[in-house]
Structures are given as C-alpha cells and as structure tokens.
Amino acid sequence: MNVIQTKLPGVLVLEPQLFGDERGYFLETWRSTRYEDAGIPGPFVQDNVAFSGKGILRGLHFQHPQSQGKLVQVLSGEVLDVAVDVRVGSPTFGQWVGERLSEANHRQMYVPPGFAHGYCVLSETALFSYKCTDFYSPEAEIGIIWNDPDLDIEWPITAPVVSPKDAGHPSLKEIPPDRLPHFGGG
C-alpha cells in the first residue's frame, strides 16, 4: 500500500495494492495492522455507504464532540473528496485539501477527527463508502456552507445540488469557537 501525505498533517491518501488479471481484480480495503502502521488509528465502529448522482455535493460535515475519523473510498464512479481543518489553534486551521477518488484509481482518503468532510460527484453516479471511528450523533453534527468564501474550496462544479440542510449551514467564521474541536484535543 502506498501512503501519500497531504499538505494537512494527518490527512492521508492511500493507494491499496491491486492484484488483477483478465478476470478482474482484487484489493484489500482494510486490514487493521497495515493501516495502523500507516498512521490510521482505529477502531472503526460504523460503516456507511452513500449513492449520489452527478453534481450532488454532500458536506461539509463534522461532529464535535464525539469527533469522527473517516476512511473514505469510491466503489463506483468518481468524486472530489475534501477535508478542511476546523481545529481551533491548529497551524492549518481553515485550510483544505481535495483528492479525486474513483473506481478507476482505487484511492482512499483518511480524514482524521477535527476535520470537516465533504465531496461532490463528478461521474453520472457514485457509490461512496466510509468507515467511521465513532458513531453518528445528530446532536454533535455541525456543518459549514460548501461555498464558504474564506475557505475558497475549488469545487470542479459551479452549481452543485445540495440538500436544504447543507445549503443552510453557516461559514466557518460564524461557528463559535467553543463549538469547534481544538488542536491537541478538546
């Protein structure tokens, strides 16, 4: 497995080893020891799958407290996956990184606790899978508006389809600091 560091410490891109021939391919998407050696702590306690059509944008979401780390991948289609550092006091607070994940490149991205996460679908449809280090908690869920001008995320679509809930999220600077995770814990 190839592990690629991003500009945001802790956010990793992973390229699992692919074994293929004329019949198809096989790849291992999770093995606790291998991923722990790569810097991805477990345990993962919940797996989710989302299906979306072209132009749909989901996010930007995070939980605090009860922050979640997420190991994400695309089983079918292609997305631009984005992580934003929302940890108060972090040297990279408010910075983002994006990675194209697809069924063709088999890449995964690890988004640690303390980061907001979102993605937009670039293919006709996408089947998106993610493992979480903590359970979903509606009471802890927080969102940031997808087009926050201070974040200036370079989404590759100009008019995404977003849910009413996601369209109503505040900008990062409108969220009180006590509602955000803190660098180094808390």
pLDDT digits 0-9 by tens, 40-95: 988 999 999 999 999 999 999 999 999 999 999 999 999 999 999 999 999 999 99
User: What amino acid is encoded at 32 in this protein?
Assistant: S
Look-up of token digits 């409108």: 174
Report the pLDDT value the prediction gives residue 42, as an integer from 0 to 100.
80
The reply to whether 64 belongs to the active site is: no
Of 110, 119, 130, 169, the active-site residue reads 130
- Superfamily of chain region 43-179: Jelly Rolls (2.60.120.10)
* Catalytic annotation, pick one of 35, 61, 106, 169: 61
Domain boundaries, the chain: 43-179
CA dist., res. 76 & res. 51, Å (int): 9
- 130 has catalytic annotation: yes
Q: Which residue has the tokens 């972090």?
A: 90
